[in-house]
């Protein structure tokens, strides 16, 4: 059995690591295609090196383009890989442009499509990710849901593919890599930090790196009294420079970090302030409170349980939520048991 896995951005590299290992253990041949959606070395090649992923068989150069242009640029390369490899399944992750491109090409080529992280909804149609995930779910034959809420969402929408609750492969990655990160990373020493005495901030979503939202987010971060470590995505750093937005003296703006360093910081921060879907979940698994700088989230369970606070781009809410952030006691396990990858591999094998 052969699977073509299509990845292209930071979270997908992380998700693919434990799943690649599970596919190999199940005797499934995996062919990896890297779309090039994140072309910066710190956001792509370094992940393959750090996470021990096999080198991609196919590398595209889609780069950073508007939504429709990026998908069209990926299409010929993905189709060529499908025609050459003749996979039994095309496997896509999450909700990126890479995800949608892989799904559309697989559908048009008549190859069964499996979607990891299916059924998630934020309800915010202004987000391209929301439109992407809805379309991909409608194209997939096999939908791997992180929880019962996602399964029910697909049922309510009348999605035609087979949906299974397997948990979240990001939980697998957190289980496997967090202890490794804390043991190997020297990020705390590098930044002269003590565990539990700093804030980790990340901002990268397209809507958040344009004015006026970016300026309002910066204003909120600047009002935080604690030390803040802010690894900046390349487009975020470019936007800050373009708009001449200055960070406060307590904020250390740094280059993107490798996964192990970022994990070491995230798992030992007092608070995480972010617009990342992945970091919202990781914060929960690490028992670190989260402040989400978006108007909505696909991970509503974390909000309902009080572990995550939605503040949108309101400067006062950002700084106040960070100051007041505390992790509630006795929280339930969310999004699986850390062994979703094994369940996905078994499901694919059973449907050959």
> Please, are residues 5 and 32 in contact by the beta-carbon 8 Å criterion?
yes
User: How far apart, in whole angstroms, are the C-alpha atoms of residue 20 and residue 184?
Assistant: 22
> Please, are residues 336 and 18 in contact by the beta-carbon 8 Å criterion?
no
Dihedrals phi, psi of 142, to nearest 5 degrees = -135, 125
Please tell me whether residues 163 and 180 are part of one structural domain.
no
Cα–Cα–Cα angle for 336, 341, 345, rounded to 5 degrees: 130
- In DSSP terms, which residues pair with 199 in a beta bridge? 228, 271
pTM over the 0.75 mark: yes
Return the beta strands (E) in the chain as ranges: 2-7, 29-34, 58-59, 89-93, 113-116, 142-145, 162-165, 199-202, 228-231, 251-254, 271-274, 290-292, 308-310
Dihedrals phi, psi of 220, to nearest 5 degrees = -65, -45
Please tell me whether residues 178 and 199 are part of one structural domain.
yes
| Catalytic (active site) residue 115 | no
Please tell me whether residues 300 and 267 are part of one structural domain.
yes
Please tell me whether residues 74 and 100 are part of one structural domain.
yes
> Please, are residues 229 and 254 in contact by the beta-carbon 8 Å criterion?
yes
pLDDT in tens, the chain (352 residues): 999 999 988 778 888 889 999 999 999 999 999 998 765 554 455 566 766 667 789 999 876 667 788 899 999 999 999 999 999 999 999 999 999 999 999 999 999 999 999 999 989 898 889 999 999 999 999 999 999 999 999 999 999 999 999 999 999 988 888 888 888 899 999 999 999 999 999 999 989 999 999 999 999 999 999 999 999 998 999 999 999 999 999 999 999 898 889 999 999 999 999 999 889 999 999 999 999 999 999 899 999 999 999 999 999 999 999 999 999 999 999 998 899 999 999 999 999 7
> Please, are residues 243 and 216 in contact by the beta-carbon 8 Å criterion?
no
Please tell me whether residues 120 and 21 are part of one structural domain.
yes
Please tell me whether residues 244 and 290 are part of one structural domain.
yes
Q: Is residue 20 part of a domain?
A: yes
Q: Is residue 330 part of a domain?
A: no
Q: Is residue 162 part of a domain?
A: yes
pLDDT of residue 43: 46
Please tell me whether residues 314 and 344 are part of one structural domain.
no
Dihedrals phi, psi of 201, to nearest 5 degrees = -120, 140
Contact residues for 7 (Cβ-Cβ < 8 A; gap 6+): 13, 15, 16, 32, 33, 34, 35, 56, 93, 98
Determine which one of 38, 107, 115, 204 is catalytic: 204
- Please report which residue ranges of 199-258 form alpha helices under DSSP H: 213-222, 234-242
User: How far apart, in whole angstroms, are the C-alpha atoms of residue 129 and residue 143?
Assistant: 17
Contact residues for 264 (Cβ-Cβ < 8 A; gap 6+): 181, 182, 184, 185, 187, 188
pLDDT of residue 209: 96
> Please, are residues 136 and 115 in contact by the beta-carbon 8 Å criterion?
yes
Burial 115-144 (b: 16+ CB within 10 A, else e): bbbbbbbbeeeebbbbebbbbbbbbbbbbb
Q: Is residue 329 part of a domain?
A: no
Residue range of the domain that includes 288:
173-324
- What number of other Cβ atoms are within 10 A of residue 264's Cβ? 26
User: How far apart, in whole angstroms, are the C-alpha atoms of residue 119 and residue 301?
Assistant: 14
Q: Is residue 134 part of a domain?
A: yes
Q: Is residue 219 part of a domain?
A: yes
CATH of the domain at 99: 3.40.50.2000
User: How far apart, in whole angstroms, are the C-alpha atoms of residue 351 and residue 6?
Assistant: 20
Q: Is residue 331 part of a domain?
A: no
HSE at residue 338, side-chain half, CA atoms within 13 A, is: 9
Please tell me whether residues 59 and 149 are part of one structural domain.
yes
- Structural tokens at position 14: 């992380």
Q: What is the count of structural domains for the chain?
A: 2
> Please, are residues 281 and 302 in contact by the beta-carbon 8 Å criterion?
yes
330 sits in the region (left: phi over 0; alpha: psi -120 to 50; else beta) called left
């Amino acid at each position: 059995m052969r699977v073509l896995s299509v990845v292209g951005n930071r979270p997908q590299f992380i998700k693919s690591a434990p799943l690649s290992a599970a596919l190999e253990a199940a005797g499934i041949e995996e062919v990896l295609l890297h779309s090039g959606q994140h072309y910066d070395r710190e956001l792509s090649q370094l992940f393959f090196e750090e996470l021990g992923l096999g080198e991609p068989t196919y590398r595209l150069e889609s780069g950073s383009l508007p939504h429709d242009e990026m998908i069209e640029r990926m299409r010929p390369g993905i189709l060529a890989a499908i025609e050459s490899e003749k996979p039994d399944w095309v496997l896509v992750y999450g909700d990126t442009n890479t995800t949608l491109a892989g799904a559309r090409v697989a559908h048009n080529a008549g190859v069964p499509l499996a979607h990891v992280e299916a059924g998630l909804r934020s309800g915010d149609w202004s987000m391209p990710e929301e439109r992407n995930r809805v379309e991909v779910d409608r194209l997939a034959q096999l939908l791997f849901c992180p929880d019962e809420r996602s399964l029910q969402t697909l049922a309510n929408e009348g999605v035609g593919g087979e949906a299974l609750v397997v948990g979240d492969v990001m939980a697998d990655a957190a289980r496997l890599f967090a202890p490794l990160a804390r043991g190997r990373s020297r990020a705390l020493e590098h930044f002269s930090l003590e565990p539990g005495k700093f804030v980790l901030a990340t901002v990268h979503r397209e809507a958040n790196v344009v004015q006026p939202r970016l300026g309002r987010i910066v204003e909120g971060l600047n009002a935080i009294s604690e030390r803040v470590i802010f690894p900046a995505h390349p487009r975020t750093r470019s936007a800050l420079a373009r708009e001449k937005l200055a960070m406060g003296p307590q904020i250390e703006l740094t280059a993107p970090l490798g996964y192990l360093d970022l994990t070491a910081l995230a798992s030992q921060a007092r608070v995480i302030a972010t617009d990342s879907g992945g970091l919202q979940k990781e914060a929960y698994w690490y028992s670190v409170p989260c402040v989400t700088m978006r108007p909505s989230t696909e991970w509503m369970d974390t909000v309902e349980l009080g572990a995550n606070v939605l503040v949108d781009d309101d400067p006062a809410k950002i700084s106040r939520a960070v100051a007041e952030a505390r992790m509630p006691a006795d929280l339930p396990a969310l999004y699986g048991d850390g062994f979703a990858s094994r369940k996905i591999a078994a499901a694919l094998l059973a449907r050959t």
